Structure 1
């Protein structure tokens, strides 16, 4: 969406909300920020027993390419899916009109279901990685688009018997 289109949407929203004098200024700011923003869930999955970067020789910790990463909320509802690139990185863009940041941080997990054996034959062939999420920060792009960055905390390996 171009800058002119974003400005038009913002003007239309402000005009429509002008007839609601009881709406607090903070609520108006949240609505406009949501219309002109995105939540970016991003991180790196490493090819280790717990999916995290190694603690002894971090520069040589291999990444986990081509791993399927899911964002699961509530009772395991999959709300977004992506695949890590050749650097083990993933990114999911979410519409803040559909996801409250507070709910995302308390009720959602990043889950890697691709077996660890796919990146290292000595790792388990069953089980999966999971991580709660943490808020990284808010960033403004082009002076108008707000990006809220969220990342996995530490991954935990869940064995099939757990």
Structure 2
């Protein structure tokens, strides 16, 4: 059975496939970077890796995450690069039966191509996010990747 990490972003609960989640960190100091899209909060170092921090609430709802206490950083590996997603709370890791995952008609909506399914639990619905598609769909992601690589070069 697939395992997912359940978390809050905005007012909803979402899930990411466990195999994409490298770690769950407390949000430490984020180094802000000027002139990047508003959903990029900056860069952070996690275990020696420099990763861009993306504000998932901003990506999904166009509302910036206020640096509240209890924000978490989901460090996620995608085909493009490692990113940190700022989320409200990373609640739990659960196993999901294949039959409880539905592909939704909404998934055809171009702005939400990264929603890979709806997980139907007894007491709630979770929207599953495909992190590869999410990161690929972000405006300016190539520039962000180039910037991070450039920073890594300067560090060595």
Asked if these proteins are the same fold (TM beyond 0.5), I'd say no
Q: TM-score range by the shorter chain?
A: under 0.3
**Please, what TM-score do these two structures have when normalized by structure 2?**
0.23
- Say which structure is richer in strand: 2
Find the structure with the greater CA-based Rg. 1
**Please, what TM-score do these two structures have when normalized by structure 1?**
0.22
